[in-house]
Amino acid sequence: MSGVRREIALFAGLGVLLVLVFLSQGAAYGVRMLAEASCYAILALGLTIQWGYAGLFNAGIMGFVAVGGAVTMTLTYPSNPDFWNSEGPAGLAGVALWLIGAIALVVAVSRADRIGVPKGLRNALTAVVAGAAYLVVAAQLDPVATLIEKEAGFIGGFGLPVWLGWAFGGVVAGLVAWFIGHICLGLRSDYLAIATLGIAEIIKAILKNSDWLTRGTLTVSPLDWPVPTPGDIGFVASRSAYLAVTAVMIVVIYILLQRAWHAPWGRMMRAIRDNEVSSASMGKDVNRRRLEIFILGSVLMGIGGAALVSFSRIFDPSGFIPLNHTFLVWVMVILGGAGNNRGAIFGALLVYVIWTMSEPAALALFEVVRSIGESLFAWEAPADLNSRALQMRVFVIGLTITLVLRYAPKGLLPEQPPKHED
Amino acid sequence: MNELVFFINKVVLAGGVIGSIYAMGAIGVTLVFAILRFAHFAHGDMMTLGAFIAFILTASFPAVGQWVGLPSAFVLLPVAMVLTALVAIGLDRTFYRPLRGANLKPVVFVMASIGVTLMIQGLVRLFAGPSARQLYIDDRKDIFRLEMPFELARMKIVITEPQILLFIFTAVAVVALHLFLTRSRLGKAMRAMSDNPDLARVSGINTDMVVRTTWIIAGMLAAAAGTLLSLDVTFKPDLSFNILLPIFAAAIVGGVGRPYGAVVGGFVVGYAETLAVFNWAILLRPFKESMPDWIDLPTKIAFVPTEYKITVPFVLLVIILIWRPTGILKGKVL
């Protein structure tokens, strides 16, 4: 089969590329890059089920990554005694009570049509009550947040094991996805794209400005690893161990997704993706299934994001650039081949290697441009040429997306519909 | 009365300014949505690009404005608009038209438009650098301070020259668009294609022409909005970043495919943003004496802290999607 041969050739080429990187940049750098690429591979697997299996356009991957990272940070960072000794916990508990009460009230009002309130009035009432409840809760939170920031800096963490942090990162990302999907999945994919982009921006704004929760721009470090950290056993060994953990996760996720793809569930998803009307007429609950797979993909993104943030050992909310990093993952998936799990992993490794290697390449290229310009045309290069050169990488991501869409819409490893022999 | 003047400055004028910008952007988005049926994510960056073209033109011919007594960037704006419209048509030719033939899912276009977004973003930042720049190069920004006719207010209503130009331009553009869509043959063809593309094609409407016109209008308005916004504040390469979500919200709130809806939506979103971050405590201050003692007036009552401004269009979007997905003016739901 030519498909298998092609796959072997592509993976062999990728292997050669990785060996070259290892030889030229050294083992510590190579393992770091591979570990990061493996985290991106988890993100790509999450996206490939949303886009490849179900055709859902998620433009807010960075938002889910940030959620996963923030949850991991909060759960695994050592606890902050200043916070627990202050009045912060009591205050936060009070805010939580207010919040629960407010949510209960809003939900109750939104169900008012059951007791005969007309729908228009119910909507108006819900909006008013929600607005008022929001103001009350915000007014409750404000002094507590100020107090925590003044007395303890931020609430610190809970000192829980890392794997628990990753798992909860996935769960919270799934909750965010449930909220978005609930509103947008009944409409066309464009609305989902806009809404996910919006929620990514909002998550970033919240993480960046809630100093009491995340220390905002001051960043939190060092984050714990599920394996011994470089300080204990050296860079290569610890990073390899980390890579082993993420690799095992990828294998497990891959096997599960592969089974799902061949299962009736996967067939149903493809049917919904390819022809919504006919699958609806066969009795499939299209929106419910879509919500299911959207949440599932976002959970994977939350876990992948948690692993990515943990690996970098620093939680920096301003480091998440919604559009650019999201589309790095998108390039991985559509270049690798949407709907093909091996394609997603292949794409993640290949694109991440190219992405990291393009940084010195872009700088070198612009160094040449600068020297030519200065010597031949007496051109005065701007002082920030290096930071501008890195913007070229954004251009290249955009160009790759459009070219792949036009010339190879199926990607390097196209989706293979399962064949049943019987 | 100082408080009222403050309110006019901070809400009525500021909201009107940002609302006009959103309205012009949203018209382009809504037209592309109506004719080509996809959410054009590159619109914010087309605005940045238009502003950047205007900046380059102004930097090359800084003295043009003095002949007419208007800012040079505004005088050169038509040139920038034409150039941006050409760029828009070029982008369509290279990136969107090849996909149109292939009978793909509409969401593929959204993705292509994001690819275009990233490309424009990369190029503009490469050439413009990250810093903010003034579009007033050789001329001075006129600031008008209107005295209130009565003695009570010491504060003055402050309005700048670019703001006045923006209001005039928006009004003219909306009226012109209205006349174009209702009176001209091409405008009617556009509306027909928006309602039913297949029917429009079989009844002999030149759909290529309609698509081109759509890009011309969208590109020109994007350039105008970007330039006028940059005139009012400064030109920043990441201008599109904060403007994309409000524009989409405006187009959807107004009703997708409805140019007038886009105008309404633009002002709704613009005013919602300014009202949400406005400090209402200032308006309550004059009544402090007449209030009973037990009410302790807080120094700041705002719905949303300024750094969370981006949540406002999103919340509006969510509300409208739940409550009335067609938008205010009954647009399409795709």
Q: Which CATH number belongs to the domain containing residue B229 in this structure?
A: 1.10.3470
Q: How many domains does chain B divide into?
A: 1
Which of A153, A176, A202 is at the close of a domain? A153
Q: Which residues between 159 and 178 in chain B have a beta carbon less than 8 angstroms from any beta carbon of chain A?
A: none
Mutual angle of helices A2-25 and A341-376, in 10-degree steps: 50
Mean pLDDT value across residues A152-164: 84
Decide which of A136, A153, A170 is a domain's last residue. A153
Nearest to B169 by CA among B229, B95, B122: B229
B281 in contact with A, Cβ within 8 Å: no
**A218 and A74 inside one domain:** yes
- In a 3-state reduction of DSSP, which class is residue B108? helix
Domain that holds residue B223: 2-323
Q: Which one of B244, B248, B314 has the shortest CB-CB distance to A202?
A: B314
Q: What is the pLDDT of residues A257-284, one digit of tens each?
A: 999 988 899 889 989 888 888 999 988 8
Quick one: average pLDDT of A177-201? 85
Residue B308 and residue A399: Cβ atoms within 8 Å?
no
Residues A60 and A91 in one domain: no
- Tell me if A414 is assigned to some domain: no
- pLDDT number for residue B60: 87
Contacts of B178 (CB under 8 A, 6+ apart): B259, B260
Question: B144 - beta bridge partners?
Answer: B159
Distance between B145 CA and the closest CA of chain A, angstroms: 35
Q: In this structure, what are the phi and psi dihedrals at residue A146, rounded to the nearest 5 degrees?
A: -60, -45
Q: Does A89 share its domain with A120?
A: yes
Question: A140 and A160, same structural domain?
Answer: no
The predicted structure's pLDDT at residue A141: 84
- Determine whether the interchain pair A190/B319 forms a contact, defined as Cβ–Cβ distance below 8 Å: no
Contact status, residue A326 vs residue A61, Cβ threshold 8 Å = yes
Total beta-carbon pairs less than 8 A apart between chain A and chain B: 151
Amino acid A274: pLDDT: 87
Residues A315 and A75: their CA atoms lie apart, in Å, by 13
The reply to whether B267 falls in a domain is yes
Same domain, A263 and A176: yes
The pLDDT of residue B308: 85
Entry field: residues in chain A: 422
Contacts of B115 in chain A (CB under 8 A): 327, 397-402, 405
Same-domain pairing of A46 and A60 = yes
Based on the fold, state whether residues A228 and A373 are members of the same structural domain: yes
Of A127, A209, A398, the CB nearest to B307: A209
Along chain B (334 residues), what's the average pLDDT of each consecutive run of 10 residues?
Answer: 79 91 93 89 92 90 80 89 95 89 80 90 83 77 74 74 91 93 91 87 89 94 92 83 89 88 93 88 74 68 82 87 81 65
Q: Is the pLDDT of residue A372 over 90?
A: no
Is A102 among the domain residues?
yes
Count of CB atoms situated within 10 Å of the CB of A379: 12
Residues A354 and A292 in one domain: yes
In a domain, A164, yes or no: yes
Looking at every residue in chain A, the average pLDDT score rounds to: 86
Q: Taking CB atoms and an 8 Å limit, are A187 and B321 in contact across chains? A: yes
Q: What is the pLDDT of residues A8-20, one digit of tens each?
A: 999 999 999 889 9
Residues A86 and A173 in one domain: no
Contact (CB<8Å) B130/A323: no
Check whether residue A92 and residue A227 sit in a common domain.
Answer: no
Q: Which letter, b or e, does each residue of A265-279 get, where b requires 16 or more Cβ atoms within 10 Å of its Cβ?
A: ebebbbbbbeeeeeb
| Contact of A309 with A315, CB cutoff 8 Å | yes
DSSP-H helix ranges across A81-161: 81-85, 88-110, 119-151
Q: Domain of A345?
A: 2-80+154-407
Q: How many domains does chain A have?
A: 2
Nearest to A183 among B39, B303, B318 (CB): B318
pLDDT attached to residue B247: 93
Q: Is residue B211 one of the residues assigned to a domain?
A: yes
Separation of CA B44 from chain center: 9
A194 closest CB neighbour out of B39, B106, B118: B39
**Looking at the predicted structure, is the pLDDT value of residue A206 above 80?**
yes
Residues on chain B touching A201 (C-beta within 8 angstroms): 245, 310, 314
A248 and A347 part of one domain: yes
8 Å CB contact of B104 and A59: no
- Cβ–Cβ < 8 Å for A226, A245: yes
Q: How far apart are CA A343 and CA A300, in angstroms?
A: 17
Interface touch B317/A195, C-beta < 8 Å: yes
Report if residue A373 sits inside a domain: yes
Query: Is the domain of A234 the same as that of A308?
Result: yes
Q: Is residue B329 part of a domain?
A: no
The structure tokens listed for B101 are 């033939």
| pTM greater than the 0.80 cutoff | yes
pLDDT score for A306: 93
Nearest by Cα to B83 from B110, B44, B57, B112: B57
Can you give the CATH number for the domain in which A236 is found? 1.10.3470
Residues A62-101 as b or e (16 or more Cβ within 10 Å = b): bbbbbbbbbbbbbbbbeebeebeebebeebbeebeebbee
